Each structure stands twice: as C-alpha cells, then as structure tokens.
C-alpha cells in the first residue's frame, strides 16, 4: 500500500537501488562474503590477524560476529551448511575453497562458527575432519549457558552441555 | 470460578493438601533442598558422587539439572543470589552453610551453577573467592551458544563469549 501511494520519484529511486544492488554486489574472491569490491574490506584490512579464519554459514553471521567486536581475524563464508536431507553436500558450499585457502599456508587457526543445530554441528564435524590433514589449530565456538540466562529456564540439552563442559574458575 | 463450582469434597481435599504441603515440607539438613525428610533422597543416595557438589540458586534449579541426567553428584541450594540492590548479602543466603560443608572435607569439586545474569555471575565470583581457602576444585557451568542456536540470531554478548571461549576440537 505504501508503494501505491508513493511518488514516481520514490519508485524510481527504489528501482535504481534494486538494480544497483544486483549490479554492484559480488562475492569477495578470498572469503566469499558479500562485497562491492573483488577483495572485501575485511580481507583487505592488513591490521586484522591474517593467521586466524572464522568459518561461518553466511554473510549475516559475519555481521553478527563483527558486531561483537570480539574477533579480529578474517572470515570464510560457506554459503550454507551440509544438509543431506535437503540434498546439500560439501560440494554445494564453499568447502573446497576453504581447504584450498588453508592449504596455501599462513592460516594457523580455523574457528568453526557454524550454528548449533544438527546441520551446523554436522558441518563443523565434517570440516574438523577435513582440516586434520592441514597444520592448523581447529576450534569451535563455546557451547553452554547464554548470557543473562536462568538455570531453571534453560532447555535441558543446553543445560546438559553446560554441566558437561564446566570449566575451572 | 472453578473453585466456586467445585464440590465440598474437592475443596476439602485441596485444603488438606495445602496444610500437608506446609506441614510435610522441610529443608534437607545437608543441601537445603526442599524435602519431606530430614535428609533428602538425593543426599541419602549413596550411589551418587559424594565428592561433587553443585551450588544452585533454588530448588527449581535442582529439578532442571536433575532432568538433564548429566549430573550425578550432590547439590547445595543457596535460596537466592547475592544482590546488593535488593539488600541481599552472603549472610542472607546459605553461603555459611556451604563453606561449613566444604570445610568438613570429602568434597573435591564444587560446580557453581548460578545463573548468568549479573547477580548470578557476582554470586559465582564471590563463592569462587571464598572457596579459594579450601582444597577444592571450583568450576562453573560453561557459557556460550545454546543448543539449536543460529549464530546470526544470538545476542551479541553471548556470541562474544562464545568466540572468546572457543575451544579446540
């Protein structure tokens, strides 16, 4: 309804933006994140730790992790997760590209930051297995209690993980 | 409205249950969990690990952790958390009782399972400090991504913790 009442100028601007969005957006040739240049600003930033690569499912995850300010390395965007139920295997996402990138040396730690649903965990296991052949430290996001949580309201599976993975303080 | 239409017998049963609830429920003299006997069934169960004590805020947390099946030790129920804003100090919850219990030897690990809100974290820090004087391992529930979570939807504070506390796989 908003668009029906919008002026021709507004509609024109929207159309131009949509066309430009498609035209200007590409994937970074290094990390496969969305970018408007061949190498994205994150990969091009020499002040970031070039030995640390965080593997994520998609561009939205890059944004979420950047927002935390906790990560100063580079990313690798898989564009999906392995999901046999949906017919998605490693060959359908950017796994080959990740292994090629790691094989080129330089990277010392790969942080697997896929989600904690079945597909995300399975993808993490698969990648950890594949990465064993390379001389890199493979790490995974910590699992446990979310911040601000009350023990009695946490789902049993998360609570079980939090008890099992308890750590010395 | 249900009670208005309930029979005398139903009302009588409810009244008896309420009176019995108050009369029969006491606190376990060891762990301070709700119980109907002086020593609760968990503390009385010799098959449980007597060297492991999990410190929780209240009886609901005992139920939640029991439900996971991941913990086979004993509990200590604080009946609250330290919250200076609400005028609740260590002397208002079962801290003295915990330290006395640990001081009696036998316990080798104390798992601090207070929540991850400010008061829960502050209580955990306080207890960790107090427990330094004793010869016990002090651990905390793992913090991080809850199970079934997607990275892009996790709150930034939890995601920051998950990145910082990542572990080798």
The whole-number pLDDT of residue B100 equals 95
Please report, for chain A, the start and end positions of each structural domain, with discontinuous segments joined by +.
Answer: 45-164
The answer for residues whose C-beta is within 8 angstroms of residue A100's C-beta and 6 or more apart is: none
Nearest-by-CA chain A residue for B141: A166
pLDDT tens figures, A32-89: 999 999 999 999 999 999 999 999 999 999 999 999 999 999 999 999 999 999 999 9
Please report, in tens digits, the pLDDT of each residue of chain B (169 residues total): 898 999 999 999 999 999 998 889 999 999 999 999 999 999 999 999 999 999 999 999 999 999 999 999 999 999 999 999 999 999 999 999 999 999 988 999 999 999 999 999 999 999 999 999 999 999 999 999 999 989 999 999 999 999 999 998 8
* Min Cα–Cα distance to chain A from B21, Å: 22
**C-alpha B41: how far from chain center:** 16
CATH number, domain A45-164, options 1.10.3720.10, 2.40.50.100, 3.40.50.720, 3.40.1360.10:
3.40.1360.10
3-state helix, strand, coil in chain B (%, to 5): 45, 20, 35
pLDDT tens figures, A84-135: 999 999 999 999 999 999 998 899 999 999 999 999 999 999 999 999 999 9
Cα A13 to Cα A155: distance, rounded to the nearest angstrom: 47
Q: What is the ipTM of this complex?
A: 0.85
The answer for residues whose C-beta is within 8 angstroms of residue B74's C-beta and 6 or more apart is: B30, B31, B42, B43, B48, B49, B50, B52, B53, B54
CATH number of B46-164: 3.40.1360.10
pLDDT tens figures, A79-95: 999 999 999 999 999 99
Q: How many cross-chain Cβ pairs, A to B, lie less than 8 Å apart?
A: 200
How far lies B63's CA from each of A43, A121, B59, in Å? 48, 28, 7
Q: Is B104 exposed, middle or buried (0-12, 13-18, 19+ CB in 10 A)?
A: exposed
* Of the partner residues B68, B111, B151, the one whose CB lies closest to the CB of residue A113: B151
Indicate whether A31 pLDDT > 90: yes
The whole-number pLDDT of residue B73 equals 97
Beta strands in B57-116 (DSSP E): 73-77, 109-112
């Amino acid at each position: 309804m908003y668009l029906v009442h919008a002026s021709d100028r507004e509609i024109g601007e929207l159309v131009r933006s949509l066309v430009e969005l498609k035209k200007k957006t590409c994937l970074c040739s290094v990390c496969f994140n969305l970018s408007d240049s061949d190498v994205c600003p994150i990969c091009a930033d020499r002040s970031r730790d070039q030995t640390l690569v965080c593997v994520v499912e998609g561009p939205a995850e890059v944004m979420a992790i950047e927002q935390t300010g906790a990560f100063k390395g580079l990313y690798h965007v898989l564009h999906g997760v392995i999901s046999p139920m949906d017919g998605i295997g490693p060959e359908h996402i950017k796994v080959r590209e990740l292994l090629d990138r790691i094989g080129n040396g330089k990277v010392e730690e790969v942080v697997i930051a896929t989600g904690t649903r079945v597909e995300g965990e399975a993808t993490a296991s698969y990648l950890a297995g594949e990465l064993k052949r390379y001389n890199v430290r493979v790490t995974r996001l910590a699992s446990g209690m979310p911040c601000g949580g009350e023990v009695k309201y946490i789902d049993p599976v998360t609570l079980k993980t939090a008890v099992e993975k308890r750590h010395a303080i």
